[in-house]
Amino acid sequence: MYHELPRTARLWSFLRAVDQELAEETRKGGCPCGGRLHSANYPRKPRGTPIQLPEEECLRLSFCCDRDGCRKRSTPPSVRFLGPKVYLGAIVILISAMRQGPSPRRVRELSRRFGAHRRTIARWQVFWREHFPQTPFWKIKRADFVPVVEIGSLAYSLVDTFLLRHRTCRGWSLLLRFLSPITVPGALQIEVSR
Ligand SMILES: [Zn+2]
């Protein structure tokens, strides 16, 4: 099913379209102070893509309140920039999923294609195995998954679940949207139990 993923250039415009929808939802919501949100994008270099991206593709969509005395920044969720990780969200999920899945050869192909080093992939593995399950986001959302998703193969199970339920492109779109709340700055903080 993974080879049905759109090719890189198409994948990129697909992801950008999802980001624009997410940004529009944030903009419509306005600032908590009641002010209006104006565009205040900032540059961020995504990795995990072999193609030279035009400058406007490297912008993290973001907004600022237009009221004097507030000027608070609102950054919408993103399917292209996964939290503190600069790699494309989709690629992080995909490669992690495939590491846990049945096809190591495909993983090697993907790592080569997206220029991800073995060590980087190992860090993503730690993220899915140890970090992600502890997030408040997952603690709430895991109840939506029946049967219970195996923590040991979390990325793989998520991809599997979404792609089995929906056609490929729609499945990816829904999965990335599902995960997008964790891309907002601060959202990946772990609750420390005392
Ligand atoms: Zn404001």
**Residue 93 pLDDT greater than 50, yes or no:** yes
CA of residue 74 to ligand 1 center, whole Å:
9
Residue 47 has a pLDDT of 58
Q: How far is the CA of 30 from the centre of ligand 1 (A)?
A: 8
Contacts of 173 (CB under 8 A, 6+ apart): 14, 18
Q: What is the largest CA-CA distance in the chain?
A: 56
Rounded distance from Cα 38 to ligand 1 centre (Å): 10
Ligand 1 centroid–CA 69 distance in Å is 8
Other residues' Cβ atoms within 10 Å of the Cβ of residue 59: 17
Dist. CA 181 → ligand 1 center (Å): 21
What integer best gives the mean pLDDT of the chain?
71
pLDDT at 68: 94
What amino acid is encoded at 193 in this protein? S
| Predicted confidence (pLDDT) at residue 2 exceeds the cutoff of 50 | no
| 60-71: pLDDT as tens digits | 899 999 999 999
Is the bond into 181 cis (omega within 30 degrees of 0)? no
At 28-56, the pLDDT tens digits run 999 999 999 999 998 876 655 555 666 66
Confidence (pLDDT) at 45: 67
Name every residue whose Cβ is closer than 8 Å to that of residue 133 and which is 6 or more positions away in sequence.
Answer: 151, 154
Q: How far is the CA of 179 from the centre of ligand 1 (A)?
A: 26
Taking the centre of ligand 1 as the mean of its atom positions, its distance from the CA of residue 14, in whole angstroms, is 31
pLDDT digits 0-9 by tens, 95-112:
666 655 545 565 566 566
Q: Enter the DSSP assignment of 129.
A: I
Distance 176 CA to ligand 1 centre (A): 28
184 Cα–ligand 1 center, Å: 18
- Give the containing element (helix H, strand E) for 42: strand 42-43
What is the structure's pLDDT at 194?
A: 31
Of 10-14, 129-133, 161-165, the poorest mean pLDDT is in 10-14
Top-confidence residue, 72 or 46: 72
User: Which residue, 176, 139, 187, is CA-closest to 12?
Assistant: 176
